[in-house]
Structure 1
């Protein structure tokens, strides 16, 4: 396939969050935006061809996740993860965040508790608090530059009001891949206390360094029966603007409740092009994906050397999956002053770690799914500001 990931693609003239909301988020447009978790890379040709083909039929009525879409999901999960998913377990909807919200609405009541493990993807907090549920934190432990789950603390914070735990697998923002042993222990604790697991596995295809993703629902029938897996091709194949995702729920009881809520909110309707693009990606996008991962791995390897040689006071957490890199600026002073310098002096727009929870206050998240030259241009400016 030989994709040119160094190709310059000008996104500025087109409506997108990355460039269009710079001033709203950073207070200025004079920055290099490396924040929003989508890519600057053009999609694989088979995906684009599928969209063009569907567009030629110029009637865009309500679509749904049909048998063909569900089959593509099942085939992909088997190919990627050796996870045998039945088509009837699959439900389509517009996005993973709507899936998380639907799960919270389906399986809890106002004032119930939902556990999160910060620092973590910030919409986790929103989907809980926006509907009157209570966030309970089970913070991750930072041990020698690597996050670990605190199982002893988890056992202590579970109460009779605790209905579910939102799991980020792989972890966003750090790119940490949870091991089978860790996920098994987490699943067993949740099963013991009848706590549902809502697993966001949207970054699971972007595994790096030959690693294999472990779906938590695959571990055992017992854990599968308490798990709602939420995923999408959007992060893997750069399809976020096509608003298409899916859930995998093996429990008939949970799936009926979830699908009932989808029906009530009309969230069972996905994007007509998103459905086509997802099926095409899962059937014909593997080659492009492997090339992407090699490109990301090389960028990450060069970043490691850069920080070691030029900016050792900023600690880079090497991601095991995904294209988001978690940077620790703890040694650079006050977090607010650091953010101000990044924006006003380095002219780089990163996600401030505090948005992922107070536990991320000294961190910033950088999106490296852009041309490598752009990544290092931004890092060079950061070096000039913080090298002293």
Structure 2
């Protein structure tokens, strides 16, 4: 007889008891009937069919995630209702969650536990991973800014590091093979970009975002932020004002100021737990000296993707005021399952002709140390002016042979790796969310649509920014990025890098829980 494995799902709601187990057989996951117990309280907190259905689905989602599956992979559901008069409301909530429309059987039963209006069991396919994101790399063989630099700075070899924006995973095999091929040839002279390099970039942007560009629209830099310098110096004047939205990476303000322009922060507004562009504030920030708007999309640190309505409104506003848009889209390759991304320049001719876009394989494919990025614009004047700026330091000549080959491999032959990566990052976020909801329920959690970051609100602790740094670094012995360095709206928040094996994430969360409990 073939063995059926029982999966003890640590992330499943503990209060569900035996239902926190899933059964696996030949790649199929069986989750027994879930009832609407809130894992945080251990009680049934919702007494209407809509609330109970949502809770049941959340419980199933958590269990499947830990069992290596997801709602999208559900093949069949069996749904039990205490009253079939509730079916219409149940069906509406159910339909929102199970977009794949699995086979379903629905029955009215009288034997449900007291106060329970709905119970659902599911059968799902287990995801068959090709890439091992659970592997913990041997750090004695590495020297990185994210880990080794922090360990050296603090003198603490026990640190767990979730700060710097790169991942603790090996890059895609296609990239590794491409770089190994360069090494094997043993020749590292000035490289020439073949057509295959441009074809990879053009194909990737069309395949993923329906953004159609040509070779003539593409220029380069060693990295995203160095390219900001040439764009700002070439397309604005000293003393001009440049708007961007905070909280955002501190380099935005640093680069603007270092180039003798005036940095103007327009804070994002928080509405019902979601960050939004505050167009009233943006409009009020515009003066005759405003010449550029730097958009971060997807937005670092909270992983917000600006929708088409946001982008169209921004394009119109900037065009009306003769403001050029510099769109930083470096995280565009890190989109959560079920989400979509629209490059600003792909919206319209107006958007394309009044914008210049910065992208790179660096963040999405974990090649930040290879130093190669792209500057793209349909406006030939913008590209020409930018290329002229590169003459100031001869940056246009030669470039990195490894950057060329890594970029081509990332954009041409790493889609499968990228898809699995974002499934894993999504799983890490769900693990973090459930852990915090159960153990530190007062922490504010914001659902990302992109990036490998979790943006978390610790203001409930009532700590100063320095004390919050000490809590994480000294007491919990973990490194994160603190929000106060990211501009207005960041104080009391932290950015947690989820680009790590889940076992390391779990250790970090356990340390944080202990440190906060010890302060009580």
Give the alignment's TM-score, normalised by structure 1.
0.96
Structure 1 stretches lacking a partner, 5+ long: none
Which residue of structure 2 aligns with residue 366 of structure 1? 496
Task: Please tell me whether residue 270 in structure 1 is matched to residue 399 in structure 2.
Answer: yes
Higher relative contact order (CA 8 A, sep 6+): 1
1:163-214: CA deviation from partner (whole Å, max 9, x where unpaired): 1011100000000111010111011101110101111101111110311111
Q: Which of the numbers 64, 69, 73 marks the counterpart of 2:197?
A: 69
1:6-60: CA deviation from partner (whole Å, max 9, x where unpaired): 1121234322111232157657454211101111111121211111111222221
Which residue of structure 2 aligns with residue 317 of structure 1? 446
Distance (Å, rounded) in 1 between the aligned partners of 2:308 and 2:316? 12
Structure 2 stretches lacking a partner, 5+ long: 1-128
Which residue of structure 2 aligns with residue 244 of structure 1? 372
Q: Which of the numbers 358, 379, 385 marks the counterpart of 2:509?
A: 379
Task: Please tell me whether residue 342 in structure 1 is matched to residue 491 in structure 2.
Answer: no
Q: Which moved more, 1:266-275 or 1:248-257?
A: 266-275
Q: 1:150-169 counterparts in 2 under 5 A?
A: 150-169=278-297
Q: Which of the numbers 308, 326, 341 marks the counterpart of 2:437?
A: 308
Which residue of structure 2 aligns with residue 294 of structure 1? 423
Distance (Å, rounded) in 2 between the aligned partners of 1:158 and 1:28? 46
Q: Residues 25 and 176 from structure 1, CA distance in 2 versus in 1: closer, same or farther, beyond 3 angstroms?
A: farther
Q: Residues 108 and 85 from structure 1, CA distance in 2 versus in 1: closer, same or farther, beyond 3 angstroms?
A: same
Q: Residues 24 and 127 from structure 1, CA distance in 2 versus in 1: closer, same or farther, beyond 3 angstroms?
A: farther
Q: Residues 130 and 301 from structure 1, CA distance in 2 versus in 1: closer, same or farther, beyond 3 angstroms?
A: same
Q: Residues 319 and 270 from structure 1, CA distance in 2 versus in 1: closer, same or farther, beyond 3 angstroms?
A: farther
Q: Residues 312 and 189 from structure 1, CA distance in 2 versus in 1: closer, same or farther, beyond 3 angstroms?
A: same
Q: 1:1-388 counterparts in 2 under 5 A?
A: 2-23=130-151, 28-268=156-396, 269-334=398-463, 335-387=465-517, 388=520
How far residue 354 of structure 1 moved from its aligned partner, in angstroms, is 1.1
Q: Which moved more, 1:75-84 or 1:299-308?
A: 299-308
CA RMSD of aligned residues (A): 1.5
CA contact (8 A) 1:102 1:262 kept: yes
CA contact (8 A) 1:22 1:29 kept: no
CA contact (8 A) 1:46 1:285 kept: yes
Q: Residues 12 and 151 from structure 1, CA distance in 2 versus in 1: closer, same or farther, beyond 3 angstroms?
A: farther
Distance (Å, rounded) in 1 between the aligned partners of 2:497 and 2:192? 32
